[in-house]
Structure 1
Amino acid sequence: MSNVVNLRRERKRRDRQQKAAVAAENRALHGRTRGARDLQRQQAEHLARTLDGARRDDAPDAPGQD
């Protein structure tokens, strides 16, 4: 004989598993702390400043464009 299954419990169990999967996905996507976000923003700004500071405005034209 087979076991009797309470459909209400199974539905609740399935819903809990689905919610847990969505929560895990959201943690992976949005789970950075404010400090981590600020650090990444500061690093990006520093990189942009460094790159802009190294840019040469007086670069000669490319060869063959006379």
Structure 2
Amino acid sequence: MSKVTNLNQFRKQQARVKKREQGSVNAEKFGRSKAEKALQESRATKERRDLDGHQREHDE
């Protein structure tokens, strides 16, 4: 005798597997570690600070 398969459960399981795979691909493509995010933020802050330091002051 063969085993009965619920097609709705099978379809939902396949959809979950696809989403999990897509999530893994996106994590590889766009994911950054906490250290990388902090480093980039600190560099951006320093660049803004340096740029502001080079601005001329307006005498009014």
- Asked if these proteins are the same fold (TM beyond 0.5), I'd say yes
Aligned length: 53
Instruction: Kindly indicate whether residue 18 of structure 2 is the aligned counterpart of residue 17 of structure 1.
Output: yes
Instruction: Kindly indicate whether residue 40 of structure 2 is the aligned counterpart of residue 47 of structure 1.
Output: no
- Which 5+ residue runs of structure 1 have no aligned equivalent? 1-5, 60-66
CA positional deviation for 1:41: 0.8
Question: Quick one: percent identity of the two aligned structures?
Answer: 25
Deviations 1:7-38 (A, max 9, x none): 368522343123321x1355134x21111011
Q: TM-score, normalised by structure 2?
A: 0.61
Structure 1 segments (4+ residues) deviating >4 Å: none
Mark the structure with the bigger radius of gyration.
1
Residue equivalent to 1:38: 38
- Which 5+ residue runs of structure 2 have no aligned equivalent? none
